[in-house]
Chain A
Amino acid sequence: MASFFNKGFGRKRESASSERIPPGQYETHDFPVLTAGPTPRIPLTSWTFVIDGLVKTPMQWTWEQFNALPQTSFMNDIHCVTKWSKLDTHWTGVSIDTLLEHINPSPEARYVMAHSYGDYTTNIPLDDLRNGKAFIGLNFEGKPLAPEHGGPARLVVPHLYFWKSAKWIKGLRFMETDKPGFWEQGGYSMYGDPWKEQRYRTDD
């Protein structure tokens, strides 16, 4: 029994997927949008994706070149720090493992700063992007990813809170030490594990 509880409050929706919902989260079938400012407009003709920092071979791709990379289908549950979780989302995109084959990270590279159009940034440990854990999403539920959800291309790191899945991604910078990104500077968690409920820095 909980030491503090709200009289008469109880679980309203019992669902078979309850064990897939992290603590403090609820399941939604919508796809809410959270962005600090206007949705950036990114013409595909000027879109580029850059990997730099502590890598042996920095790389830049155009939209055409990036789309020519091998693409994979992914199915994931996603968890937003604003409390909603969405189960069984379907994506296609380019695995970060595929990108790593091109750029050869330096041995001292341990963290990555994701950079977006609109100047958003977020930090992620490199190990959390490897081994099938993360990808650059280009299609969502069979359609090109909509601008308000981060299209044309979005980083997707489904096992961390969704702010780590930077919308309108334009590059990854490899770093030796961890640095806070946009929300992290504002007091949000450096890591953001939904299963440990690491919402804010003081939860780390």
Chain B
Amino acid sequence: MEKFQWQIAQVKAITQETPRVKTFTLQLPQWIPHVTGQHYDLRLTAEDGYQAERSYSIASPPEQTGEIDLTVELIDDGEVSSYLHEGISVGDPLEVRGPIGGYFVWKDNMANIPLLLIAGGSGVVPLMAMLRHRAKIGAKNPTVLLFSVRTAEETIYHQELRQLADQDAQFTLLLTYTRQPPPEWSGYQRRIDRPMLTDVLKSFTSQPISFVCGPTLLVEQVANTLVDLDIPTDKIRTERFGPTGA
């Protein structure tokens, strides 16, 4: 059993991914290799002892030793994300513990199985760790990322995803823009729906394992539709965040 001990990491770099999303590269005194899809808990402490904790998915692959990347979206009224975005600079200490999580993970024994990754917004973060790790180990399994974003400007890891797709014939990047597609866009421009998932599943010659991460409503709809399309429930792993909208 891994020990989930709190440790004080140091912020090594901060990358602005989109106007509302930053990646914090943390150097850890006790770094443990993670499985992609896992998260860290992050705890902020005020001078009077008040504490607030949140969980953030790891974006980096385990090949990036000694440090982790946590990609954090600024949430309106979010006391942790707003402090991270506005109050943290390179060199600052941050208290974290992890890696945590044992189900929403892409294990190395899955490297030969076709992989379908589906993300909405910042739900792409744990899937990015999987894609980065997959590239590092040179896996050749057919892989698709279906990524629902509002606009090109709000697309996290846009450049890197395109490069990965250009370099790897087995990896397909499918973006769908729900608000404003870029000029001359000929791809999807609607919310993920049944015809879209039907198309994507047709591109696989054998049944993929699916990881779906994003806002609750998107995950509910995608997971339900995959079940309708005869994907067994044990091949669909989900991680939901945010309100239900209900």
Chain A residues with CB under 8 Å of chain B are 1-2, 4-13, 23-26, 30-41, 82-83, 118, 146, 148-149, 185-187, 199-203
CB-CB nearest in chain B for A185: B102
Stretch at the interface among B14-22, B39-47, B66-74, B190-198: B39-47
Nearest chain B CB to A191's CB is how many angstroms away? 16
Nearest chain B CB to A87's CB is how many angstroms away? 16
Complex: A8 Cα to B3 Cα, angstroms: 30
B53 at the interface (CB under 8 A from A): yes
Knowing A4-B93, A5-B45 are in contact, say whether A38-B216 is a contact too (CB < 8 A).
Answer: no
- The reply to whether A6 and B2 contact each other, CB–CB distance below 8 Å, is no
- The reply to whether A30 and B100 contact each other, CB–CB distance below 8 Å, is no
Task: Give 1 or 0 for each of B91-119: 1 = CB within 8 Å of chain A CB.
Answer: 01111000011111000000000000000
A-B contact pairs, 28 of them (CB 8 A): A1-B48, A1-B49, A2-B49, A5-B49, A6-B46, A6-B92, A6-B94, A8-B87, A10-B50, A24-B51, A25-B53, A31-B246, A32-B240, A32-B243, A33-B219, A36-B237, A36-B238, A37-B233, A37-B236, A37-B237, A38-B238, A41-B227, A148-B244, A148-B246, A186-B103, A187-B4, A202-B2, A202-B5
Nearest chain B CB to A4's CB is how many angstroms away? 6
Complex: A40 Cα to B236 Cα, angstroms: 12
- The reply to whether B79 and A13 contact each other, CB–CB distance below 8 Å, is yes
CB-CB nearest in chain A for B225: A38
**Selected contact of A4 from candidates B79, B95, B102, B240, CB within 8 Å:** B95
Knowing A2-B47, A35-B238, A36-B237 are in contact, say whether A186-B244 is a contact too (CB < 8 A).
Answer: no
B242 at the interface (CB under 8 A from A): yes
B154 at the interface (CB under 8 A from A): no
Chain B residue contacts of A146, Cβ below 8 A = 244, 246
Nearest chain B CB to A24's CB is how many angstroms away? 4
B201 at the interface (CB under 8 A from A): no
Knowing A33-B220, A38-B223, A186-B102 are in contact, say whether A9-B243 is a contact too (CB < 8 A).
Answer: no
Interface of B, helix, strand, loop or mixed by DSSP: mixed
**Selected contact of B45 from candidates A6, A30, A40, A82, CB within 8 Å:** A6
- The reply to whether B237 and A9 contact each other, CB–CB distance below 8 Å, is no
B226 at the interface (CB under 8 A from A): yes
- The reply to whether B244 and A187 contact each other, CB–CB distance below 8 Å, is no
Complex: A82 Cα to B53 Cα, angstroms: 9
Chain B residues with CB under 8 Å of chain A are 1-5, 8, 41, 43-55, 77, 79, 82-83, 87, 92-95, 100-104, 216, 219-220, 223-224, 226-227, 233-234, 236-238, 240-244, 246
- The reply to whether B47 and A5 contact each other, CB–CB distance below 8 Å, is yes
The residue among A12, A26, A41, A201 with the most chain B CB atoms within 10 A of its own CB is A12
- The reply to whether A202 and B3 contact each other, CB–CB distance below 8 Å, is yes
**Selected contact of B224 from candidates A30, A38, A185, CB within 8 Å:** A38
Knowing A10-B46, A39-B224 are in contact, say whether A31-B244 is a contact too (CB < 8 A).
Answer: yes
**Selected contact of B240 from candidates A7, A35, A199, CB within 8 Å:** A35
Complex: A28 Cα to B1 Cα, angstroms: 32
Complex: A187 Cα to B2 Cα, angstroms: 8
- The reply to whether A30 and B244 contact each other, CB–CB distance below 8 Å, is yes
- The reply to whether B220 and A186 contact each other, CB–CB distance below 8 Å, is no
Complex: A31 Cα to B50 Cα, angstroms: 24
Chain B residue contacts of A202, Cβ below 8 A = 1-5
Nearest chain B CB to A177's CB is how many angstroms away? 19
Knowing A24-B53, A32-B243, A38-B226 are in contact, say whether A6-B44 is a contact too (CB < 8 A).
Answer: yes
The residue among B43, B50, B101, B219 with the most chain A CB atoms within 10 A of its own CB is B50
- The reply to whether A4 and B227 contact each other, CB–CB distance below 8 Å, is no
Chain A residue contacts of B219, Cβ below 8 A = 33
Complex: A200 Cα to B77 Cα, angstroms: 28
